[in-house]
Amino acid sequence: MWPAQNRILAAAGGTTAGPQPPPGTPPKPGMVLGPLRGASLPPPAMPTAALRLLCGVVMPAAMLCAEPLPRITFPSGDPRRTLTHFSQENVSHYDIFLLHESEEELYVGARDRVLALTVGTPGSIRAKASIMWGPTAEKISECAFKKKSQETECFNFIRVLVALNQTHLYVCGTYAFSPVCTYIQLENFTLMSSSRGQPFLDGKGQCPFDPQHTYTALLVDGELYAGTMNNFQGNEPIISRSLGSRTLLKTDAFLRWLSADAAFVASFSIPGDDKVYFFFEETADEFDFFERLLVPRVARVCKSDVGGDKVLQKKWTTFLKAQLVCSQPGHFPFNVIHHAFALPRRDGGADFYAVFTSQWQAGRAGSAAVCAYRQEALEEVFEGKYKELNKESSRWTVYGGPDMNPRPGSCYMGPSSDKALTFMKDHFLMDGKVSPTQGQPLLVKTDITYTRIVVDETHGISGATYRVMFLATVEGFLHKVVELPGGPHIVESIQLFERPEPVKNLLLAPGKGILYVGYSSGVLQVPLANCSLHQSCAECVLARDPYCAWYSLEGSCQPTRAAAATEDMSAWLQDVEAGSPATMCHRGRSVAMPRTWGAQEDPVAERLSPPLNAVVYLRCPRHSALANYSWQQPDGQGGRGDTAVLPNHTLVVIMQRGTAGTYKCRATENGYTWTVAHYQLQDPSGVAPQLDELAEEDLAWGSSVPGTPRSYWPQFVTVTVLLAVTLAAAACLALLAYHDQLKARSKVRGCSTPHSPPSQRREKVPLNGGTGEPSAPGVPTEEEEEEEGSRACCLQLDGDIDVDNNRLHVPAGDTV
């Protein structure tokens, strides 16, 4: 009934009307607005060269221009992406999922409810049974007395839902901040009391008190392993093992094995391995940092652990934790973990995938990253060196003492010595850090916060294995990403809800090819494949979707699951790595195959007969965000003076006699070009209207055809050139002024002092000791001429030069 033990046991905690077109959306294809005589065109779209310059120079290329984009984006309610919705009145917070092994029933834990849903038929979700399990009036009153909200918090939020055996489920809830657990009998789907006759069991240590606290729990061999908060205040995290016949074990709060703010996101048990892994984040105590530094962790305990006899009684004796690393060179590390997923490998072991954000977010919504870790990388760190706290310096250092045998913290079956257990009390933190595969994230996206992740492994037509990640965002989008050697490829992005809200849970049903999405108002059923969207071999190959392939015998894109039932595998065409229809679809064509099986046919031309001077909007459907779009117009590939392309690739045409003809919007992707829109504008009938003032003004601006609206591009170029010339002239004038100031400064340094002291004046006494002849009256002496020349030299500067600033401010009328 339930999944066999060779599967990975995992537990992860955490937390229809058609859409209206947004404002500013252009009219539908062929819509005519007019006639408008002398109408002006909207501004043209940004040129490709300018966009490349923006990505290469202005914006950081590594973060914005190099990251992958979703090839196709489906808005909420898009009929091209069918989603099945389920909800019940007065039921909310569909947070916890448990899928029956047959994948015919889905059990859902919600607020005050446990639901059993029939999901055997794809595209259908029906309610089979429901249990109302809310807190009593007494518990609600106690909750309100604790200053909690009766409108949002004093309910029973289901947090643990596991299959105890073939006939019973084990379920726990917050129960108005008084966590309790109980059993559900599957035969009649009702609650039952415990073996002691009590209606409910104490859920402390298994379920959080606060519904806002993160949590994780899984059942392994009849025992419940849980990571949650152990008290009402929410400052005592705990990893515990309960149920079963063995002694209850938990972490030691006094030894601070876990920081007070530890937040658990997932836990896993790997087949064939005697360990349980917990993924969480907490404040790092080993770093000297000015602010609170969060660190993602992975902790490990052994299933065979039975606790100590004298030391660490009823405590874990194998608890170890290590730091996870997810970072890019030159950027802040992604140190906030949101969710994790374990994918088993066929050769044994597993790979762990986790989604992160950064504590130091940049931008509107920051960035998100996906990192993958091999189980061997985790074990290598756990087998490495320990850290220990130096009590004298209060610093964490690497343990350099002698090795012990058996190694403390290992899953050794025999009893541990008191010395080894005493060592484990202070040496629970590993010195090494777990690095991701390839030493870097698999995917980095800006302005997005990923909250959940699940990973599926599927086979292609060629026999190759592909891993597909399904990533949910905080705003309610779902990304389907293929992990490829050349980098990730985002096949599609689906807007799940009309209004932004976070996804609470994701659960794969690989046997049915279904993904279940839980959110506050219900459950969504999302098919993994959407092959019917692609109408040609080229589109099917360009999608690079591992779940889809082109079946040439029927001329349709079909799920690869159907290929297993066919004998001729050569009729299936798929190219996930390169996505090249030029080679793949041509290779699959033969004499007996119709031509349409390979190439995409042009759509049927839409004929329009707009009146003269009417504004016509020709829409270009954006089938792929990875394609380049261009318009083929009657006068060739280039644009016309009476047409303009909007940023969404819509072509705006003002109907004139010379604009009639065929218009095609063509897309080019991976070297393949096809037509996505085809319009035929017919020549308007009747005599052209007389020119009015606006048309005459257009001709005055250089319009070549009467009635043709003017284009502002020549004026824009003219103004830009004039502005550049003006700025250049201003710069030249500034340089000339600065040059004059330098010359003036040099003159000042060359001027003699107007009033030199007597000792510095040149001596006029003849060398023979005689006296000089007195100067004639009215004739200036040589000294006076020199002084006058010095004064004239300084007065040429017009003042305003001083000693400190080389400027002297001389009031008008004053002399120096």
The domain defined by 31-42+602-711 carries CATH number 3.90.260.10: no
Residue 751 near residue 797, CB atoms below 8 Å? no
pLDDT of residue 347: 85
SS3 741: helix
Residue 218's Cβ-count burial label (10 Å; 0-12, 13-18, 19+) is: buried
Contacts of 661 (CB under 8 A, 6+ apart): 633, 634, 680, 681
Q: Where are the domains of the chain?
A: 31-42+602-711, 213-448, 529-597
Q: Is the peptide bond before 35 cis (omega within 30 degrees of 0)?
A: yes
Measured from the Cβ of residue 727, the count of other Cβ atoms closer than 10 Å reads: 10
The hierarchical CATH code for the domain 213-448 is 2.130.10.10
Of 245, 256, 274, 156, the C-alpha closest to 208 is 156
To the nearest 5 percent, what fractions of the chain are helix, strand and coil?
15, 30, 50
Of 282, 369, 360, 288, the C-alpha closest to 322 is 282
Sort strands 443-446 and 367-374 into parallel, antiparallel or unpaired.
Answer: antiparallel
Q: Which of 167, 143, 169 minimizes the C-alpha distance to 156? A: 143
Write the burial class of residue 723 (CB in 10 Å: 0-12 exposed, 13-18 middle, 19+ buried). Answer: exposed
> Which DSSP helix (H) or strand (E) runs through 387?
strand 387-390
DSSP letter assigned to residue 739 = H
Cα four-point dihedral sign 624, 629, 633, 637: negative
- Residue 773's Cβ-side half-sphere holds a number of Cα atoms within 13 Å equal to 4
Q: What is the pTM of this model?
A: 0.77
For 135, 728, 729, 731, 742, the CA distances from 736, given in Å and listed in that order, are 85, 12, 11, 9, 10
**Residue 457 — left, alpha, or beta (φ > 0 → left; ψ -120 to 50 → alpha)?**
beta
Q: Interhelix angle for 713-750 vs 782-795, to 10°?
A: 160
* 226 phi/psi in degrees, rounded to 5: -135, 145
Other CB atoms within 10 Å distance of the CB of residue 789: 12
Closest to 432 (Cα-Cα) out of 491, 373, 493, 385:
385
Question: Residue 739 half-sphere exposure, CB side, CA atoms within 13 Å?
Answer: 6
* Per-residue confidence (pLDDT) for residue 4, from 0 to 100: 43
Output the six-digit token pair for 126: 């029906």
d(CA 190, CA 175) in angstroms, rounded, equals 18
Give CA–CA dist 623/667, Å, rounded.
8
Residue 548 has a pLDDT of 96
Cα–Cα distance between 208 and 385 in angstroms, integer? 33
**What is the Cα–Cα distance from 181 to 730, expressed in whole angstroms?**
80
| C-alpha span between 517 and 407 (Å, rounded) | 43
Which structure tokens are listed for 689? 């209207």
User: How many residues appear in the chain?
Assistant: 816
pLDDT value at residue 683: 81
Separation between Cα atoms, residue 633 and residue 677, nearest integer Å: 12
Tell me which residue of 721, 722, 695 sits closest to 710, measured CA to CA. 695
Confidence at residue 655, expressed as pLDDT on a 0 to 100 scale = 87
* Residue 668 identity (one-letter amino acid): T
Neighbouring C-beta atoms of residue 252, cutoff 10 Å: 16
**Are 103 and 120 within 8 A, CB to CB?**
yes
Cβ atoms 458, 419 nearer than 8 A: no
- pLDDT for residue 711: 54
- CATH for the 529-597 domain, from 3.90.1170.50, 3.40.50.10320, 3.30.1680.10, 3.40.50.10790: 3.30.1680.10
What distance in Å separates the CA atoms of residue 726 and residue 369, rounded to the nearest whole number?
A: 48
Main-chain phi, psi angles of 426, to 5 degrees = -115, 0
Residues of the chain with pLDDT under 70: 1-66, 193-198, 362-365, 413-415, 587-601, 636-641, 685-714, 744-816
